[in-house]
Structure 1
């Protein structure tokens, strides 16, 4: 026993014990999770570290989507058909789906900073190989590996951001750490496509490698360490699905992302069917900039009214689908729909990561890895579903799908008010 807690004649021990009891009573009101335990009370928002995480998110999303805008150049450079070059996107997603959960399971007990640095270093290595490779099979292999490292990084980023942040600012921290996703879509992918088209597609991968190197140095300098998950709190991966609320949140993620990615991937077909003069690249820039507004709104609101925020986002997403369908022949209506779509989707990632992290508790990293898998499964099925739909109908079927899936997701969130999307945190 510590000497400070032993009885003394001057009554100081009673005062110490009372203080300790008061602290214990207060601590019992704080949820027990590694995210909260790692952040000291009153700590300021670790902005530099969160911006490094945002930079890494920017790199990951740009690396994933960039080949789609450079398929003719990549196909010519590797002497393959465009359809074969298109598998650079598919193998990346496949690597994420297949290896994310095993990678998170293997590393969840390790300290966070070493895992983060190793993930960035691995991503740098495989991306650099892709920039110099002249063999399609080697390129596909390293894209698969890039998807695996991407899954590891995406799976740990949400929990890491929460661990180094005071609990009352955890939602805002996630919003800042997630800003790289809309920036990657709005700026990174178009710039990479321009760079690859103007010079050579390898320049695009080379630029991403240089950015990754910068992120590695900044992470080593600016991102603090945090503990991994305690061994006694780890449960088998499959049992994470059984944690109350997790499977429901994954269902919402899948429906929402399937609706989004189907429309995003085949927006050109919609604009053709609408006989609208709006160019695809202009439409996507409007969407991307609006997504930044949605992310800013999420950062302001998420720590105070997370459930209301998700309901509002899905309602806005559904409204965008209605406007896309009913106002298809009006450029003003389409621009308004693009803005609503972007605002609704911009904060989706931190909103869903917040809820699944809280539902997962001490298994938040595993739960977030499932979130990443759900995202990529939705991306895969969006490509297939969209291709089937536009081959059987015209592009006007896409907002109909958007409306239906958004309505289903909204209904699930509205009814799942206990474990999955509670009113109070």
Structure 2
């Protein structure tokens, strides 16, 4: 499950590191090319809450196998896309798989492994999601440098066969314990702390993708980085993100709110400083390391907050609502960021991202004030 989670999120963010090559080859603007992230995010925002309802009592093993196969097919279609319309269709198909897989997989840790190891199993699934969000972007230019952007998509399609095979061999039958309904989708909204968590998620993830969708073009145009240096700098982001994921998980168990505040604040400061300090390689290295460290902890911090706010967050309906919020934020962030880039500049998108992160920070601080009152 962790490998499958890693694969789906890596797939989602792969185009971010390939934007420059794809927009030139398919004859679209950089802002328009950013909708390759918008499309799967928007579709996943609907498929995450709705697919579990539509699948009803279908054995979740078969559902996960089908969704994993969808990832592979979407990547193959993207690799042969003759125009941008076909590329968007491929990315939309990917979105169906992303939303459904994530919503179903999140709650399976405690069902696949019982007892004291259950929380660790859940953490591993989250780890795959968190690491995928930071590895997907540097994987793009790295694979693109060797195989071209079409070869990068095809390579990920081949790699996607691994979790599919592992799930086929290792996953047991997973019966549905409680059939999700449309009415159960709004369960989390009844909890004030859960609502705060969803708002924090919305503004934090939107902030991230307003800015981060265009980090590769920024490094090329403003830092003057070569393709090789862009790959290296994005790998720094990825490595820091992996560290941030596990470090955040450790501190969340001890101090939930202070850790969440630290993660979002570090993200805001890093994004705000990128236009100024990122114009030279060493500055970009430092900022991307701090940025990656912060964002690596965001998914696990947001999900942990919701798990602590309401036990229903671990259900398919609850996780579907979280994934929907997460994905609509990705879609909105990349779309708004693209508009800012096309009509203003890439640094303008960075500054907007920092502002939105501060809004998320205000929500968590105000929640603490209300709790004291």
Aligned pair in 2 of structure 1 residues 268, 96: CA closer, same or farther (>3 Å)?
A: same
Q: Is the 8 Å Cα contact of residues 245 and 293 (structure 2) preserved in structure 1?
A: yes
Please state whether the residue corresponding to 2:108 is helix, strand or coil. Answer: helix
Q: Which residue of 2 aligns with 1:176?
A: 124
Once residues 251 and 392 of structure 1 are traced to their aligned partners in structure 2, the CA distance between those partners, rounded to angstroms, is: 28
How far is 1:346 from its partner?
0.5
> What's the TM-score, normalizing by structure 2?
0.79
Relative contact order (alpha carbons < 8 A, sep ≥ 6): 1 or 2 greater? 2
How far is 1:100 from its partner?
2.7
How far is 1:207 from its partner?
2.5
Per-residue CA deviations over 1:59-106 (Å, capped at 9, x if unaligned) read 2223223345556776898xx533587655443333223333211222
Q: Which residue of 1 aligns with 2:101?
A: 153
1:57 and 2:5 aligned = yes
Once residues 263 and 101 of structure 1 are traced to their aligned partners in structure 2, the CA distance between those partners, rounded to angstroms, is: 27
1:260 and 2:260 aligned = no
How far is 1:218 from its partner?
0.9
Residues paired across the two proteins, number: 366
Aligned runs of 1:86-165 on 2, under 5 Å?
A: 88-107=36-55, 109-131=57-79, 140-165=88-113
Aligned runs of 1:214-293 on 2, under 5 Å?
A: 214-231=162-179, 236-237=183-184, 239-244=186-191, 245-267=193-215, 279-293=229-243
Aligned pair in 2 of structure 1 residues 379, 357: CA closer, same or farther (>3 Å)?
A: same
Aligned pair in 2 of structure 1 residues 256, 171: CA closer, same or farther (>3 Å)?
A: farther
Aligned pair in 2 of structure 1 residues 117, 280: CA closer, same or farther (>3 Å)?
A: same
More helix by share: 2
Q: Which residue of 1 aligns with 2:27?
A: 81
Please state whether the residue corresponding to 1:81 is helix, strand or coil. Answer: coil
1:410 and 2:356 aligned = no
Q: Is the 8 Å Cα contact of residues 287 and 341 (structure 1) preserved in structure 2?
A: yes
Please state whether the residue corresponding to 1:82 is helix, strand or coil. Answer: coil
Which protein shows a greater Rg?
1
Q: Is the 8 Å Cα contact of residues 51 and 100 (structure 2) preserved in structure 1?
A: yes
Aligned pair in 2 of structure 1 residues 333, 239: CA closer, same or farther (>3 Å)?
A: same
Where does structure 2 lack aligned partners over 5 or more consecutive residues?
Answer: none
Once residues 220 and 418 of structure 1 are traced to their aligned partners in structure 2, the CA distance between those partners, rounded to angstroms, is: 49
Aligned pair in 2 of structure 1 residues 393, 112: CA closer, same or farther (>3 Å)?
A: same
Once residues 135 and 389 of structure 1 are traced to their aligned partners in structure 2, the CA distance between those partners, rounded to angstroms, is: 24
Please state whether the residue corresponding to 1:230 is helix, strand or coil. Answer: coil
Deviates more, 1:323-332 or 1:153-162: 323-332
Once residues 239 and 73 of structure 2 are traced to their aligned partners in structure 1, the CA distance between those partners, rounded to angstroms, is: 31
Per-residue CA deviations over 1:332-376 (Å, capped at 9, x if unaligned) read 554333222111110211222233345453463222222222222
Q: Please, which of 305, 319, 337 is the counterpart of residue 355 of structure 1?
A: 305
Aligned pair in 2 of structure 1 residues 257, 170: CA closer, same or farther (>3 Å)?
A: farther
How far is 1:395 from its partner?
4.5
Q: Is the 8 Å Cα contact of residues 229 and 362 (structure 1) preserved in structure 2?
A: no
Please state whether the residue corresponding to 1:249 is helix, strand or coil. Answer: helix
Alignment RMSD, CA only?
3.8
1:342 and 2:276 aligned = no
> What's the TM-score, normalizing by structure 1?
0.71
How far is 1:291 from its partner?
0.3
